[in-house]
A = this chain, B = another copy of it.
Amino acid sequence: MAEEFTVTPWEVTGKIDYELLQKKFGTVSIDEKLLKRLEKYGEIHPMLRRGIFYSHRDLNQLLDKFDKGEKFVLYTGRGPSGNTHLGHMMPWMFCKWIQDIFDVPMLFQMTDDEKFLFQDLTLEETRKMAYENALDFVALGFNPEKTKIILDTENIKTLYPIALKVSKKITFSTARAVFGFDNSTNIGSIFYTSIQAAPAFLPTEEAGKEVPCLIPCGIDQDPHFRAARDVAPGLGYPKPAMMYCKMFPGLGGGDKMSSSDQNATIYATDGPKAVKKKIGRAFTGGRVSVEEQREKGGNPEICAVFMYFFYMFEEDDAKLNERAERCKAGGILCGECKNELTSRINVFLEDHQARREKARGIVGNMTYDGFEWNKGGE
């Protein structure tokens, strides 16, 4: 019997059945045919090959338009409720890849209002966290000429008129059905989805003509964009195309890296010692003793350490498979994998943290400031 699971923009719990979720949400598998098509634009990203970005809406239509010369705008975002962790950066890295191969402009929304409304945080806290998170985003190396950061409370004058149009088309009934709201939900939270929809429609508003939009993000965000897509035609906006990824796993073996369990989460600002300690404690598919593991082998399928290689720290498929086979054959012990993962994460983070410091000098210039930002993409 399937375990219970919940996936909403504000709650991800249980063992997620991603196929079932796709069926429930009504999204479409990124299949072999679509991967073949994507190959035309550049070498397929490991997150696509491995089915981490596994589901979509209207990607073919977006590519049809692209093939006819219509550039799209990339859009993703972050709810700044805590420090950035690897799970947050995963879809941003994917966006960077999309920006590189398609050479398109990108909007990054920091939803400080959302996190204020849905969590026990002040606006000062969420704004401050937005700045910190933005450094991690910028550090990934997006094209600074074509990438703009929207901070909701900062850029609200731009977002609000679009959000008003969206909100006028969504009834409480719909919001309740899509998001599971009830009578005790605050009225800011009820309105909020309109604000998250706005950047998807902003390029069209700015250009005065339909500009396609592609939103790569976690599949937990689908309720927002389902609602946005439903109202788009009535407002003269194109429906945004979607690419959805699975949740980055937690070190405790859970289905999603959580900001709240600090020991099972690798933050972008973690030092080498913290990483070593956290990976050292990670849940693995190992046996109770070295002898048993040598004899019976480990189980990479349930192993958080293996998942980290799979999601982010081993891009070479052959080497990844080799690691799995060696594990199952008892040829490699958990300590070895942990040491190697620790070392790879630390190399990555050392580099990231250096770029993160440099980002302090750039991030201010990347604040969304009007109608010229996407000219580079035309």
A residues bordering B, Cβ < 8 Å? 113, 116-117, 123, 153-154, 156-157, 160-161, 163-165, 167-173, 175-176, 181-191, 193-194
Q: A113 CA to B164 CA in the complex, in Å?
A: 7
With contacts A113-B164, A123-B164, A164-B113 known, is A170 near B187, CB below 8 A?
Answer: yes
- By a CB distance below 8 angstroms, the chain B residues around A123 are 161, 164-165
Chain B proximity of A110: nearest CB distance (Å)? 14
- Residue of A154, A164, A170, A191 ringed by the most chain B CB atoms within 10 A: A164
* This protein's copies in its complex: 2
Cα(A251)–Cα(B97), bound, Å: 67
Shortest Cβ distance from A374 into chain B, in angstroms? 22
Minimum Cβ distance to chain B for residue A349 (Å): 34
A186 touches B167 (CB 8 A): yes
- The smallest beta-carbon distance between A177 and chain B, in angstroms, is 10
Q: How far apart are A193's CB and chain B's nearest CB, in angstroms?
A: 7
Chain B hits for A117, CB < 8 A:
164, 167-168
Contact check, A184 vs B172: say whether CB atoms are below 8 A apart.
yes
| Measured CA separation A73–B157 after assembly (Å) | 25
With contacts A190-B191, A191-B190 known, is A183 near B161, CB below 8 A?
Answer: no
Q: Taking the nearest CB of chain B, how far is it from the CB of A117, in angstroms?
A: 6
A186: which of B170, B184, B189 is its contact (CB, 8 Å)?
B170
The answer, among B161, B170, B187, for a CB contact under 8 Å with A172, is B187
User: Which has the most chain B C-beta neighbours within 10 Å: A157, A167, A181, A187?
Assistant: A187
Residue from A157, A165, A176, A190 having most chain B Cβ neighbours under 10 A: A190
Tell me which residues across on chain B come within 8 A of A164, comparing CB atoms: 113, 116-117, 123, 153, 188
Contacts of A153 in B (CB 8 A): 157, 160-161, 164
Which residues of B sit under 8 angstroms from A113, Cβ to Cβ?
A: 160, 164
